[in-house]
Structure 1
Amino acid sequence: TVEFDWGMDIYLARQIVSSKLELISGRLPIGTTQPILGPVSSRMGEIFEFAVIGEETDPMELRSIADWTIRYRLQGVEGVSFVINLGGFIKQFQVYLKPKMLKNYDVTINEVKEAIENSNRNFSGGIIMKGSQETLIKGVGRLETIDHIQNTVITSRNNVPVYVKDVADVKIGPKFRRESGSHNGKESVYVTIEKQYGGDTLIAIANVKQTLAQIAEDLPERINIKSFYDQSILIVKSIEHVEISILEGTFLIILVMMFFMWNLRSSFIASLTIPFSILIALVLMDLFGIKLTVMSIGGLAIGIGKVANGSILMVENIYRVLREKKGQASTLELTSEAAKDVG
């Protein structure tokens, strides 16, 4: 984990880390996976979660659909940074070697491994020029079926090719898993969606929902998508809470001011501080690129109470000074004096 100072440009930080990784990548031990940077996101960016479920469906099939159908389509949605799948079983082609046959053909495990790896790739065959046209030649060699692996040539003995099927059994099976997911006590795949850094949560979730509705039409009938966490619901409820807090605060200020001062004008002046303060805060948030998130809305809700308390103290003290020192100075001077008393 690399930590930077608060306010550091995230993209500049990624560029610095990337350049440092390039310097050390050549000195890593043999067999080490090349280090890569993850997406620009965090745990706070997890905005939507759902489960891929299916009655009497193989968990390996659920995971394959989540990995190769749902995830790839969601990664192209505007506002989505990363899609995480948990649960089910990852599909694998598994090669079970036969020790006796390896000895019989004088073939090592490493030879089998290298033969499969070298056969599992596409390559470029160059370009054929014909007049003003260019034809690209592509060699397709990716292994896609069990037969492809079984018929892979390892070596030859007495001019007779030795195939993988001669020394091993090839099957489709699940990869050893380190996590599991369930929904209502049944195997499922949990999918977590993270939004892009600085993106609008509500827009991103709306795009995700629209895409999921399209994906659901293409899935087999027995497989369904069931959402269980939607941050937009929390944001909408928080906005409604802020609206209710504004109305309640305005009403209580008028009630308190009328009860203690019996002055309708002062009550309305104090009550107007809440909507104007919220409006100014929203304008400043827009200028500085701060989106309406759970944290920002929570701050506005807390701020309403502070504003209400301060406005009551300020207006009450100004009203008292104007009444007690009426005629001793101008209204503006007395108002300034009263404001300084409160701070």
Structure 2
Amino acid sequence: MIENLISFSLRNRILVLLLAAGLFAWGIHAVRTSKIDAIPDLSENQVIVYTEWMGRSPQLIEDQVTYPLVTNLQALPQVKYVRGASMFGMSFVYVIFEDDTDIYWARERVLERLNYASRLLPEGITPTLGPDGTGVGHVLWYTLDAPGMDLGEQRALQDWYIKFALQPVAGVSEIASFGGFQKQYQLSLNPHRLTYYNLSVTDVIRAVRAGNNEAGGRKFELSDIGYIIKTTGYLHSVEEIERIPVRTTGTTPITVGDIATVQMTGEARLGIFDRDGEGEVVGGIVVMRYGENADEVIRRVKEKMTEVAKGFPGGVKFNIVYDRSELIEESISSIRRTLIEEMIVVSVVVLLFLFHWRSAVSILVQLPLTIAISFILLNAFGITSNIMSLTGIALAIGVIVDNGIILAENAYKHLSQRFHELNPETPNE
């Protein structure tokens, strides 16, 4: 078959050259459209199920949340194994699928099974899916440089403005917030007063929920103008919570302020985020989706951050603490420089040792063509241009040249033998 292929190529040289030129042009296009990252994504094909049940011990979480979810999710198709982790107030279940499974198909199957498994969980517990990002999807970390603004205000700015502005950027799976205080109203109940008024914690919770609500009315017309009637009952201050009636004794209402201390404070935290030992900061983590171009995602996020920063209060700005694009640029630049240097050195060595320009050109033309075809294959198999894949191409240059030299020498030897067979009187050189 090889002989027939060689014979066909010799008889159709123009066709072979056009095919090579077409592959080279396709390869150039593949180089420009190749997904770029610093490191290869070797993480498993997984779907994370997160369940929150605050205030419960890890053993209770394990028995009533993690175990029912793990046993039900094991029956999904194309699942390799299921891992579960229980901690204080939280449960994590990692469903690992086969490597060739489409991640969004896997997420749909997990969500279908959760609709059934949720019936086995305690009342009020709702498991949710984690972001559709990989283990190396954290491409950008930022903090807020906000002098004069407390941690609660910074976290509110992050959660209610920045996060919603960056989330729609193409290729972003999630903006994970960290640091600061999440503002909340806290009621510290006095047990002696609860006993005195014969009230329970459930009574207080029910009263607060009923007092934080809006009710709709109806529409009526007056003088050809339509009016909508409604009651506004959402709570806006500590004083409004203190005035909520829990029970009425005779004609005297017992309010929340009579049995509890109400204050605005931050949610209880299990840790802090400190930067360079200079104090706590607030920020976010940009998580990239599966199969996205990390370099392009970071560029789009930075452009959006420039736009978002225009709406900040005075003196507030972004402070990027981790940017993978810098590592990507350094890695790609290093490998690109190595490739160019290797191609130049190999070309000089081949020209010096062969000392025959036609043979040297036939060998050297393989280098750019082979590298271009390599990028076509990288894109076809969904492999990013990272430090590992490009290093493999750089190491293969020596093999490409060796094969070319061997084939050129073998062809020259057979041509020489054939020439002397046809011209026996010609002396050997």
1:234 maps to a residue whose letter is L
Is the contact between residue 220 and residue 228 of structure 2 (CA under 8 Å) also seen in structure 1?
Answer: no
2:143 maps to a residue whose letter is A
Query: SS at the partner of 1:44?
Result: strand
Structure 1 position 18 matched with structure 2 position 122:
no
Higher mean alpha-carbon deviation, 108-117 vs 50-59, is at 50-59
Query: SS at the partner of 2:133?
Result: coil
Structure 1 position 144 matched with structure 2 position 236:
yes
1:265 maps to a residue whose letter is R
Alignment correspondent of 1:63: 155
Q: Measured at CA, do residues 317 and 126 of structure 1 come closer, stay the same or move farther in structure 2, by a change above 3 Å? A: farther
Alignment of 1:22-61 (within 5 A): 22-31=115-124, 33-61=125-153
Query: SS at the partner of 2:375?
Result: helix
In structure 2, C-alpha distance between the alignment counterparts of 1:41 and 1:129, rounded to whole Å:
51
In structure 2, C-alpha distance between the alignment counterparts of 1:135 and 1:47, rounded to whole Å:
52
Query: SS at the partner of 1:49?
Result: strand
Is the contact between residue 172 and residue 286 of structure 2 (CA under 8 Å) also seen in structure 1?
Answer: yes
Alignment correspondent of 1:179: 271
Alignment correspondent of 1:272: 365
Q: 1:302 aligns with which of 379, 385, 391?
A: 391
Deviation at 1:171, TM superposition (A): 0.8
Structure 1 position 238 matched with structure 2 position 319:
no
Q: Measured at CA, do residues 126 and 75 of structure 1 come closer, stay the same or move farther in structure 2, by a change above 3 Å? A: farther
Q: Measured at CA, do residues 87 and 283 of structure 1 come closer, stay the same or move farther in structure 2, by a change above 3 Å? A: same
Alignment correspondent of 1:103: 195
Alignment correspondent of 1:165: 257
Deviation at 1:36, TM superposition (A): 0.9
1:219 maps to a residue whose letter is F
Deviation at 1:150, TM superposition (A): 1.8
Is the contact between residue 274 and residue 307 of structure 1 (CA under 8 Å) also seen in structure 2?
Answer: no
Higher mean alpha-carbon deviation, 136-145 vs 171-180, is at 136-145
Structure 1 residue runs without a partner (length 5+): 331-343
2:259 maps to a residue whose letter is V
Alignment of 1:172-321 (within 5 A): 172-185=264-277, 186-287=279-380, 290=382, 293=384, 296-321=385-410
Cα deviation code 1:119-157 (max 9, x no counterpart): 33456x487599xxx998776544332233222221211
Deviation at 1:228, TM superposition (A): 1.7
Q: Percent identity?
A: 27
Alignment correspondent of 2:17: none
Deviation at 1:54, TM superposition (A): 2.7
Is the contact between residue 339 and residue 394 of structure 2 (CA under 8 Å) also seen in structure 1?
Answer: no
Q: Measured at CA, do residues 308 and 106 of structure 1 come closer, stay the same or move farther in structure 2, by a change above 3 Å? A: same
Q: Measured at CA, do residues 215 and 41 of structure 1 come closer, stay the same or move farther in structure 2, by a change above 3 Å? A: same
Alignment correspondent of 1:333: none
Cα deviation code 1:164-205 (max 9, x no counterpart): 122112111121111311223221023110122223323322
Query: SS at the partner of 1:182?
Result: coil
In structure 2, C-alpha distance between the alignment counterparts of 1:298 and 1:30, rounded to whole Å:
49
Cα deviation code 1:294-321 (max 9, x no counterpart): xx32244223233311122112212322
Query: SS at the partner of 1:26?
Result: helix
Cα deviation code 1:97-130 (max 9, x no counterpart): 223432333222221122223333456x487599
Structure 2 residue runs without a partner (length 5+): 1-93, 420-429
Alignment correspondent of 2:72: none
Query: SS at the partner of 2:367?
Result: helix
Alignment correspondent of 2:21: none
In structure 2, C-alpha distance between the alignment counterparts of 1:318 and 1:223, rounded to whole Å:
66
Give RMSD over aligned pairs: 2.8
2:115 maps to a residue whose letter is E
Is the contact between residue 366 and residue 400 of structure 2 (CA under 8 Å) also seen in structure 1?
Answer: yes
- Give the TM-score normalised by structure 2: 0.68
Cα deviation code 1:39-96 (max 9, x no counterpart): 2112311111111233353222222222222112111222211011121222121112
Q: Measured at CA, do residues 37 and 67 of structure 1 come closer, stay the same or move farther in structure 2, by a change above 3 Å? A: same
Alignment correspondent of 2:6: none
Q: Measured at CA, do residues 218 and 2 of structure 1 come closer, stay the same or move farther in structure 2, by a change above 3 Å? A: same
Higher mean alpha-carbon deviation, 276-285 vs 65-74, is at 276-285
**Equivalenced residues, count:** 322
In structure 1, C-alpha distance between the alignment counterparts of 2:377 and 2:227, rounded to whole Å:
57
Higher mean alpha-carbon deviation, 21-30 vs 147-156, is at 147-156
Structure 1 position 323 matched with structure 2 position 412:
yes
Is the contact between residue 249 and residue 274 of structure 1 (CA under 8 Å) also seen in structure 2?
Answer: no
Alignment correspondent of 2:32: none
Is the contact between residue 242 and residue 300 of structure 1 (CA under 8 Å) also seen in structure 2?
Answer: no
In structure 2, C-alpha distance between the alignment counterparts of 1:135 and 1:76, rounded to whole Å:
37
